[in-house]
Copies of this chain bind each other. A is one copy, B any other.
């Protein structure tokens, strides 16, 4: 117990000092595929909730909950779940990622940036409770999802 805690403390201290503070990559290929699929399903649920609100009865709290969750996923650093070797494989189901995602850095950067910005804006707009503005931003956010799907996701 003491030894472990000491080593951890030492590692943490060294890591902090050395700025060898690269983010950790965790999980086997199938874990990473499952986690990213889970994150996308979580986004789909959240988008579905916002859609139901802008098309039906509007509930400000629920839209904020959904938008905050989308924002947290967008800013989660989930790009780390696309390690080499995860271009094929099964999480909850077979990954639909296209090979291009692992080679087209510029293209990936572009769709990721668009999604992140739209997600951050969505959370901001959701907090205002302005249903019209939220509907407009929801449309823009959906476009950024589609932008990535069209380019980097295989059809079912």
Interface residue ranges, A against B (CB under 8 Å): 8-9, 11-12, 15-16, 20-24, 26-27, 31, 34-35, 37-39, 41-42, 44-46, 48-49, 52-62, 65-66, 68-69, 71-73, 75-77, 81, 92-93, 131-132, 135
Contacts and interface: CB of A to CB of B under 8 A. Distances in A.
A77 B66 CA distance: 9
Number of copies: 2
A77 B58 contact: no
User: Would you call the interface of chain A mostly helix, strand, loop, or mixed?
Assistant: helix
Nearest to A55: B8
B77 A23 contact: no
A35 B24 contact: no
A29 to B, nearest CB: 14
